[in-house]
Amino acid sequence: MAGNGEISEVKVSQEALDIAKKQATLGYRIKRNKACYMMLAPYFILFFLFTVIPVILSVCFSFTYYNMLEMPEFIGWKNYIKLFLEDDIFMKALKNTMILAVVTGPVSYFLCLLFAWIINEFKGWVRAFLTLIFYAPSICGNAYVVWTLILSGDRYGYLNGFLMDLGILDNAIIWMKTEKYVLPFLIVVQLWLSLGTGFLSFIAGLQTVDKSLYEAAALDGVKNRWQELWYVTLPAMKPQLMFGAVMQITQAFAISDVSIQLAGNPSVNYAGATVVTHLLDYGTVRFEMGYASAIATVLFLLMVGSNLLVQKLLRRVGE
Amino acid sequence: MSRQKNYLKPYKKRRFFKPKEKKLNRSMAGNTLLFVIMAICGVAMIMPLVMVINNCLKPLDELYQFPPKIFVRNPTLENFSDLFTIMNDSWVPFSRYILNTIIITGGGMVGHVIIASLAAYPLAKHNFPGKGILFQMVVLSMMFHWTVTQTPQYMMISWLHINNSYWALILPACSFGMGLYLMKQFMEQLPDSLMESARLDGASEWCIFWKIVMPNVKPAWLTLAIFQFQQMWSNTGSTFLRDEALKPLQYSLQQISAGGMARAGAAAAVTFIIAAVPITFFLICQRNILETMTSSGMKD
């Protein structure tokens, strides 16, 4: 800016300077936006009460022994030491959660993307119908109890029935009470349930990609749909990719209802135990709130940590 | 909207098996491959729901049949009439459960839509100290599941003495992060000039919010309402509500379906109802929801 020096020569009245100074102060800016804060207040009061303070409480209580009746007693790192060194079930639950998250997280993410991408090739009612088919499982409430019929341990269960009918099995297998089958089936059911908000976001995002980009890419030598996907579509819908990742990862770490419904809690030899079922066990059955808080804090760090990491990775898509 | 329609035009002319007008970078082989993948996966996805629909129409002897059949032979509505009989016999009149559900889901939906859009408007369209950090907190809250804060939330609710009342379900539901996030992203697309002209005409911020912003973001608040409905609908409320007379429909339906073999028919009907309601709502509002999700991306 060459003209800067000259502009500063212009005389500014003291009054105008004072006003400018005043307007720059924090207090003034807060005051001027009073209406904004009034609008924010109802939401953020509730948000603090039911989300922010619980997180802080959870971290604080994780260093105490607290049973909801007596005053919490500070015990330092003992909860965490017990959690990682003595609690075998927690280690098993953590292992299960990691397996479930590492498998269902990325797989469901790519399935969301793949299906959304293919659905985008269709139009009109076919597209609406396909969207409904793939999205319906994730909103059907707890209608996934139908999987208890499919995986039922007697011969009336669909899976047993079909396999016995085909002569592959002689006797019914009690699927969800056999340790080695629990996790694989939980993964299948979870994948079935996982085409949720992220999936919708992808479908919507694909529609907004500018068509002229495809034409330009074709001129630049993009030869097939796969190249088009990698070089044009994905970079153009990066914001949706990041949103979808948050949805899928958070969901993948929080698997609990499906496990409780299908495998029971506690499940056979804790084959279906996850960090959340362990948390529920201590928080709502045994009322060891301090210990439950420690579990919750670990889970919180796991979810937020992996989300932030993946966000960082996704920024690089198409670069 | 207009841009999307233009984009969709070339698809209109293309029929699947006779691609007269060749689209850029699309081969017949690729189309067929993707169509086959889609058909197989689609059938796999829908199969359990087909079972739900068929089960609720099966008479009891077909429910326990070996080998099990997916499709119903002699469809009846017996299961639903069984369900109504059980409902009429229930200890708390069944209409009470329905009323509870209407209050809880209705309160949660309306409260959330109003409160979240009120907060989203300044976050989207104004600059004020603390804006960045407040929104970052909301985004961060989407990165963990509500089960994490379940236990301390229970403590908060019992300290606020709203335990065992509708508020225990409605108030936390009003502050879900997703709703605010979607609303804010959608509002950011509104042109500033819209609000600027209203401001020149002397409208207050509240007036702008109600008269200008809200009518223009109708797809977003419909979406919020549907998402919220899905959340609230599957909530049995059993953690916070102790009085039988306060519990929602979902709770009593699950009680019925836990009734064992004798109630297997009624349970199948219950599963169908639980699944059908949110799916129907989605079907009706699909277009609005997808329009809202367009702006769901995380810009940074």
Chain A window 3-22: which residues touch B at a Cβ cutoff of 8 Å? none
Q: For residue A8, is pLDDT > 70? A: no
A224 touches chain B (CB under 8 A): yes
Q: Is the pLDDT of residue B16 over 70?
A: no
Q: Is the Cβ of A293 closer than 8 Å to some Cβ of chain B?
A: yes
Give the burial class of B82: count Cβ atoms within 10 A of its Cβ; 0-12 exposed, 13-18 middle, 19 or more buried. buried
Is the pLDDT at B114 greater than 90? The verdict is: yes
pLDDT above 60 (res B20): no
pLDDT value, residue B1: 42
Res B3: pLDDT: 47
Question: Where do runs of H (alpha helix) occur along A88-196?
Answer: 88-119, 124-139, 146-150, 158-165, 179-193
Chain B contact probe: residue of A123, A168, A200 with most B CBs at under 10 A? A200
Question: Binning pLDDT at 50, 70 and 90, where does residue A1 land?
Answer: very low
Q: What confidence tens digit (pLDDT) does each residue in A154-175 have?
A: 777 888 888 888 888 778 788 8
The predicted model gives A251-270 an average pLDDT of: 84
* Confidence (pTM): 0.84
| Band of pLDDT at residue B23, cut at 50, 70 and 90 | low
How distant is the Cα of A73 from the closest Cα of chain B, in angstroms? 16
For B69-90, what is the mean pLDDT? 84
- Tell me which residue of A91, A130, A294, A277 sits closest to B39, measured CA to CA: A130
Give chain B's count of helices (H) and strands (E): 15, 0
ipTM of the complex: 0.83
Whether B27 contacts chain A with CB within 8 A: yes
**Nearest-Cα residue of chain A relative to residue B233:** A141
Q: Is B260 on the interface with A (CB under 8 A)?
A: no
Q: Does A12 score more than 50 pLDDT?
A: yes
Q: With 70 as the cut, is the pLDDT of residue A286 above it?
A: yes
A269 and chain B: CB distance < 8 Å anywhere? no
Pairwise CB contact (< 8 Å): A240 & B297: yes
Q: What is the pLDDT, as a whole number, of residue A134?
A: 92
Token pair, residue B95, equals 């209409």
pLDDT over 90 (residue A301): yes
Q: Report, as an integer, the average pLDDT of B217-242.
A: 85
Lowest mean pLDDT: which of A250-264, B61-75, B127-141? B61-75
Query: Cβ A134–B42 below 8 Å, yes or no?
Result: yes
Residue pair A292/B148 in contact (Cβ under 8 Å)? The answer is: no
User: Does the structure show a pLDDT above 50 at A2?
Assistant: no
